Amino acid sequence: MTTFIATVAELEALYGTPGETSTAKEVDHITPEYRQLIAASPFVVLATVGPEGADCSPRGDRAGEVVRIHDARTLMLPDRRGNDRIDSLRNVVRDPRVGLLFLIPGVGNTLRVNGRARLTADPALLASFAVDGKPPRTVMIVDVETVFFQCARAIVRSALWDPAAQVDPATLPSPGRILAVLSEQRVGGDAYDQAWPERARASLW
């Protein structure tokens, strides 16, 4: 029978005490060095939690624009156009705790930010994030509590940035196929896949 770890003491007994290189990197604000990493990232994964459980959502934009560094303790994340499920936003309204994982193409190290978030639809702030005249509908204000970089092991193990490791999309189920199967052919299908590139081009912002 499988046994499970039930206490923090059991867990710490397995892993021991982290070394200084694992703890010295953590700070409660955005340092100049961490600012450079954030500015270079066009992609961040947003983790939230709510009454229904945890959620993880990808957010992408032009490098330097996926978030705005307002000051050393504040990040601003515009909510660009998407599927309107607003899972992450629902969670933030009910539980402000968030985690951000920044990825930089070609770079092994990632950056982690934890903090608490609020949402605003302030017209002036939304307008300042407009792209091609299209503002986001909300902006998430993140009060930074911890910032630290994550070493490159996960990226190296996964060969994430290695072109030779890229998967041919044609070998996987397409979004249209998945939708068609799950909806019993009510939505999705080949027409969905064929229309998606133009639909995405017209609705990125």
Handedness of CA 154, 43, 84, 119 (dihedral sign): positive
Chain segment 50-65, per-residue pLDDT in tens: 999 999 999 999 988 9
Chain segment 158-187, per-residue pLDDT in tens: 999 999 999 999 999 999 999 999 999 999
Tell me, rounded to whole angstroms, the distance of Cα 148 from its chain centroid. Answer: 16
In contact, 69 and 35? CB cutoff 8 Å: yes
Q: How far, in Å, CA of 205 to CA of 81, rounded?
A: 6
The confidence score (pLDDT) of residue 198 equals 93
In contact, 189 and 179? CB cutoff 8 Å: yes
In the chain, DSSP assigns E strands to 43-50, 53-60, 68-71, 74-78, 97-103, 110-120, 139-150
Chain segment 52-107, per-residue pLDDT in tens: 999 999 999 998 899 999 999 999 999 999 889 999 999 999 999 999 999 999 99
Q: How far, in Å, CA of 113 to CA of 144, rounded?
A: 7
For the chain, the helix, strand and coil percentages under 3-state DSSP, each to the nearest 5: 35, 30, 40
